[in-house]
Structure 1
């Protein structure tokens, strides 16, 4: 494993785009977190987003992992480019000539996906912990370290999404087309959901079916946290509106994504094995 990772990071080390996109990913989340902690004063308006309770423990684990996931596209570009560059630069063929098996090649890419996901998760954990310690109204250890399942879900979510990108990178070969295919697949899943809902006439049944789709299952791991905000709950109570939304992390949802991860990795290997390089 160590040898395979060394090979991959040696390639990434010389990729300027990979470095730039990785820096943008981590910098953007940091800037967003700092923006939320800044107090703005305009005339008689004194506003700070952190005052809305978004950095309270344990809510911060849910809030930050949900919004950080929107930035994963930057690392996805790195993954897709990493795969397409193997074909354009002919490093794939050279690696195989040098003695690397096709199985080891796929594993090296998957290990890189896992490392990217782990580093990102640790980064979110550290930043969230610091923000929570500074702004949270709660400082009991039992509260601080509760709801950490959102970090696990975020970790699995990234591995699932990046594994899909890895598969598309091998399947399409060109990074631009792979990212385009990813977007088209997202549209396809949404259209299929709309069609199923229209045919059956039941939203819950449609969601129960589409929860097994790759992108939908990955998305379901960390659902929206907005309905938990105090201001939203207060408004709903004043309007006598029920805003109950199940945003818990369930084992079966993690299991669905783990199955897709296996399919993507196995599919990548199967494609590579059948192709004449």
Structure 2
């Protein structure tokens, strides 16, 4: 594994686009976190987003993983480009000539995907811990380290999404087409979900049960929107006598579904590569 990872990171080392996109991803999240922690005036009114409780433990684990997941497309571009460059630069064929098997090639990309997901998760953990220790109203050890399952869900979500991007990169060969295919897939899946919800089944619960097995939908279910957990939203709902019933928990079967798709995407990538005459 270490040998394969060394090969991949050596390639990334000389990729300017990979460096830029990675910096944008981590930089954007850090920038958003810093903006949220700064007090500033808007039309004479002082605004401090951190006062809304977004950095309170344990809510911060949920909020930050959700926000960071919205930026995952930057790392996805790196992964797709990494695959497409193997074809355009003919390094894939050269690697195979040098003795690297097709299985090892796919494993090297998968290990890279795992590394990206792990590094991103550790980064979110460190940034969230620092922000929470500075701004949280609750700093008891038991509270700080509760709800950490959202970090696990975030890691699995990135793992599933990145392996999907890896699969598309192997399938389509060109990064632009692979990203376009990803966008089309998202549109088609959203349309199918809407048709099932409002035209075919017409029942939200039954629709969610079926669509939780869709690839992108299953990944989305791992880290659900956290905004309705905010105290200001809950207070407004109480004043309007509206009950916000939403399941924010991370369920084991949701993790298994995404891990199942992850395994399928890795297997599919290898099957496609084996079927091609390179």
Relative to the length of structure 1, the TM-score reads: 0.99
Q: Report 1:79-118 matches (<5 A).
A: 79-118=79-118
Q: Deviations over 1:216-258 (max 9, x none)?
A: 0011000000010000000000000011210100000000000
1:1-277 to 2 correspondences below 5 Å: 1-42=1-42, 44-197=44-197, 198-277=199-278
Cα RMSD of the aligned pairs, angstroms, is 0.7
Secondary structure (helix, strand or coil) at the match of 2:228 reads: helix
Task: Give TM-score scaled by structure 2 length.
Answer: 0.99
User: Aligned pair count?
Assistant: 277
Counterpart-to-counterpart distance in 1, 2:214 and 2:173? 23
**Cα displacement string for residues 32-53 of structure 1 (whole angstroms, at most 9, x for unaligned residues):** 0000001012354111000000
Please report how far the alpha carbon of residue 182 of structure 1 lies from its aligned counterpart in structure 2 after TM superposition: 0.2
Does the residue aligned with 2:40 lie in a helix, a strand or coil? Answer: strand
- 1:130, 1:201 → 2: CA distance? 45
Q: How big is each residue's C-alpha offset from its partner over 1:54-89, in whole Å with a ceiling of 9 and x where there is no partner?
A: 000000000000010010000000000000000000
Range that drifts further, 40-49 or 253-262 = 40-49
The alpha carbon displacement at 1:268 in A equals: 0.2
Per-residue deviation at 1:138? 0.5
CA–CA separation in structure 2 for the residues paired with 1:273 and 1:130: 46
The Cα of 1:188 is off from its aligned counterpart by 0.8
Unaligned runs of 5+ in 1: none
State the Cα distance separating 1:3 from its structure 2 match: 0.2
Q: Give per-residue Cα distances to partners, 1:246-276, cap 9 Å, x unaligned.
A: 0100000000000000000000000000100
CA distance in 1, matches of 2:243, 2:150: 24
Distance 1:210 1:43 in 2: 45
